[in-house]
Structure 1
Amino acid sequence: MAMMMTKTERVPARASLGTKLLVLTIVFVMVSEIFIFVPSIANYRNNWLRDAHRNASVAAAIIAETPNVPEGLKLRLLTATNTIAISHREGNRRRLLAMAMPPTSVDRHIELGNETIFQSIVSAFDTLFAPNGRIIRVTAMPDGLDEEVDIILEETPLRQAMLAYSWNILALSLVISIVTAILVYMSLRWLFVRPVRRLADAMIDFATDPEDTSRTIIPSGRTDELGEAERSLAAMQHQLCDTMIERRRLAELGMAVSKINHDLRNLLASAQLFSDRLAMVQDPTVQRFVPKLVRALDRAVGYTSGVLAYGRAGEAPPSRRLVDLHHLAADVGEILGLDTHPNIDFRIIIEHEIEVDADPDQLYRVLMNLCRNAMEALESSDHDSVVRRLAIAAERSGSVVRIVVSDTGPGIPAKVKQSLFQPFKGNGRRGGTGLGLAISAELVRAHGGSLTLIDAPTGASFEIIIPDRPIDLSVRRAAIA
């Protein structure tokens, strides 16, 4: 138990599941905002350039339609539109309308409306990382006019506007990310983190004392996957608790059996001494029963020698011989007192020539267990009108012998049938351990056969199938040769 507690001690974590969830939510929201920011900054640049070109187009129209425009007015129009020069093309004729100062060189030429989305995104980031003072030329046709207006302007105001827009988007994205992360974190913590923490705490608490049923988790009644996990964990904990209790019970039983076995061997040794003295009595009745008593004592001594073998190393392999089944069944009935029982009708429906290839002692134990169980079931009712009949029938079909032990008792309860041949699961009788049927099933399986409960109109009927040993043809041919 101490080792189990050591393995299940909670290890301090650097970051809890909730903290990781909060950080990941913020990161994912920021990534989503980046995917939103990239096309939006490109769209902001295009809109800024269109607005600048539109304002310059209005100034170009004023200058072109007004004759003899003073140079001072042209400079004020250029300053108001943040342009260096404005030119106008109509057909094949181009005219410079206004110019604040001759540009040294034009670094980039932009044609509005001809850029793809990808080109707009690349151009937007090129503007963001461009040096100050770069000169650009913007060309476009005003809406509804078959003419072209070119403007030359400095890119620095556009870059500053884009940087301010980016910082605003970044601050807004950060606020949205934090708010969204908190809301998602609170929701997921209530929906998932708390139930998972509850499952983990329940497992850790149960591991400290698996035999304490009060430490099993109580399902919360959820209908989702976590609720199913809670119910599965509760069922597993109850099953494990029962297993641990049964394991402790088996350990205690093993200790008790070893003590009883030691004292029982001493008592049987004393009983053998008394049986030897009884053999000297010349009374015919005594002489009749003394050999049976001696055989019963010898079997009991043999059982005490191998009683601890069950559940640890298994029963010894059967020492098979041809057995007179009718004589063996009569011996069982006589030992149990069924042949002279005042209330039980004991019948042996076995032909005398039927022989079974089996270990006589092990088959005797099987029949003894089945008949004793049937005898106790028949004696459970004291009503005189109840039919109490116990029968042992057998038949041979080829190389297989079929034995049926049936009674007219109350039968096997339905809830006991599923665990009928499991040790310590009980056999439906008050005070029964179920070991007799478990041992009998193991002994029959060692013969290559089977022990099953078959349907019967009344009472309980057990079917024993024992096949003959397979013949080794090579050995037989060698013997004949």
Structure 2
Amino acid sequence: MTINGQTVLDDYGDTDIQARGRDSREPRAGWVDGPLAGFIYHDLRHPLTAILAYSELLAEHDLDGLQREDLCREIRLAVCRMNDLISLLVEFSKGTATPRLEVADIVETVNRAVHVVAVRPEFRRIVIRYDHDGLTKGYFDSRRLQQVVINVVLNACEAVALHTGRIHVRSLGRQDHVEISIWDNGPGVPESIRHAIFQPFVTCGKEGGTGLGLAIVQKILHDQGGEIYLEPARKDGTLFRLVLPFVSPSG
């Protein structure tokens, strides 16, 4: 895949680090900073992996009509997510990445995000629960919120044990803001990095991790007037809390 004449994804879905590094050093008006570009390029691999897996299932297995329909739907969803990510990248590159505030449904947005992660084969045995209280419809950028929730839930799935992992996502819609809490029963964030968990390139040692995920999640929320918090250390896992402005259509 090429953007502005440079390869950013090779045939295996990996990022071209050298090209990205050169680009981040070249000042261009409105161009996105290196870490944010790296996050989006890296994030494209998730739907690409899903498309590859589902297409192989369609080609290699004797499936009934309903199963084929389900797989085709998942492929369409993955393509739509890639399109959203590419659109965001174009907006960032042009310096036009402003939140698109429109009436959206918080339950639908969070449900879609949870589904994107939950259907990945390696996470099928993790129990992910989602609950909502309060208002459901309001003005917010559902596309970016979905991306934020996907990445925090993905981090949670990668932190828990695959056979005993539990994740609880809960949203609360108020007149002026929405709160989303994401808890997992993993080992928790080490005390030595808790103070720096939202800084770029800080990682808990996850294999293949870049340490960009939470830093970019925080940036996306800040761009919308929101915030993400790591709650005090718990014996039963890790809890992140997201707060985002949320204006009720009736308010």
Give the TM-score normalised by structure 2. 0.66
Answering whether residue 157 of structure 2 is matched by residue 375 of structure 1, we say yes
Give the 3-state SS of the residue equivalent to 2:128 in structure 1: strand
- What is the rounded CA distance, in whole Å, between the counterparts of 2:223 and 2:88 in structure 1? 16
2:29 is aligned to none
Deviation, 1:309, is 7.3
Deviation at 1:306, TM superposition (A): 4.4
Unpaired runs of 5+ in structure 2? 1-17, 26-33
Q: Report which structure shows greater RCO (CA 8 Å, sep ≥6).
A: 2
Q: Which amino acid in 2 is paired with 1:418? A: H
Matched-pair contact (CA < 8 Å) for 1:324–1:352: no
Distance 1:436 1:249 in 2: 20
Match of 1:465 among 230, 243, 251: 243
Residue deviations 1:251-290 (CA, integer Å, cap 9, x gap): 36859979x96xx89x97xx69x98xx8xx9922332342
Task: Using the aligned pairs only, state the percent identity.
Answer: 25
- Counterpart position of 2:8: none
In structure 2, how many angstroms separate the alpha carbons of the residues matched to 1:396 and 1:295? 26
- Asked if residue 285 in structure 1 is aligned to residue 67 in structure 2, the reply is yes
Pairing 1:129-168 to 2, within 5 Å after superposition: none
Query: How big is each residue's C-alpha offset from its partner over 1:284-342, in whole Å with a ceiling of 9 and x where there is no partner?
Result: 233234234223212213424544877x8778111022332222222223222359855
Give CA deviations for 1:353-385 in whole Å, capped at 9, x if unaligned: 523432111011100100100000013xx6x6x
State the secondary structure of the residue aligned to 1:350. Answer: strand
Q: 1:392 aligns with which of 156, 169, 176?
A: 169
For residue 418 of structure 1, give the secondary structure of its aligned residue in structure 2. helix
C-alpha spacing 1:323/1:298, structure 2 compared with 1 (3 Å):
same
Aligned to 1:411: 188
Whether the aligned pair in 2 keeps the contact of 1:425 and 1:434 (CA below 8 Å) is yes
Give the SS at the match of 2:196.
coil
Give distance in 2, aligned partners of 1:284 and 1:377.
33
Larger radius of gyration: 1
Within the alignment, does 1:363 sit opposite 2:141 as a pair?
A: no
Report the secondary structure of 1:437's partner residue.
helix
Aligned to 2:217: 440
| Alpha-carbon distance between aligned partners in 1 of 2:23 and 2:198, rounded to the nearest angstrom | 19
Aligned to 1:350: 132
Unaligned runs of 5+ in 1: 1-247, 474-481
Could you tell me whether the CA contact under 8 Å between 2:201 and 2:212 is conserved in 1? yes
Q: Which amino acid aligns with 2:201?
A: F
Q: CA RMSD in A?
A: 4.1
**Partner of residue 424, structure 1:** 201
- Pair 1:373–1:286, CA change in 2 (3 A): same
Secondary structure, aligned partner of 2:99? coil
Letter in 1 for 2:108: H
Answer whether contact 1:416 1:428 (CA < 8 A) is retained: no
Superimposed CA distance per residue, residues 124-178 of structure 1 (whole angstroms, 9 cap, x where no aligned partner): xxxxxxxxxxxxxxxxxxxxxxxxxxxxxxxxxxxxxxxxxxxxxxxxxxxxxxx
Give the structure 1 partner of residue 14 of structure 2.
none
Cα distance, 1:435 vs. partner?
Answer: 1.3
Return the alpha-carbon distance in structure 2 between the equivalents of residues 469 and 353 of structure 1: 10
Partner of 2:230: 453
The alignment's TM-score, normalised by the length of structure 1, stands at: 0.37
2:21 equivalent in structure 1: 251
Aligned length: 208
The structure whose residues are more often helix, as a share, is: 1
Q: What CA distance in whole angstroms lies between the structure 1 residues aligned with 2:233 and 2:191?
A: 13
Q: Is the 8 A contact 1:254 1:308 kept in 2?
A: no
Letter paired with 1:297: V
| Alignment match, 1:132 | none
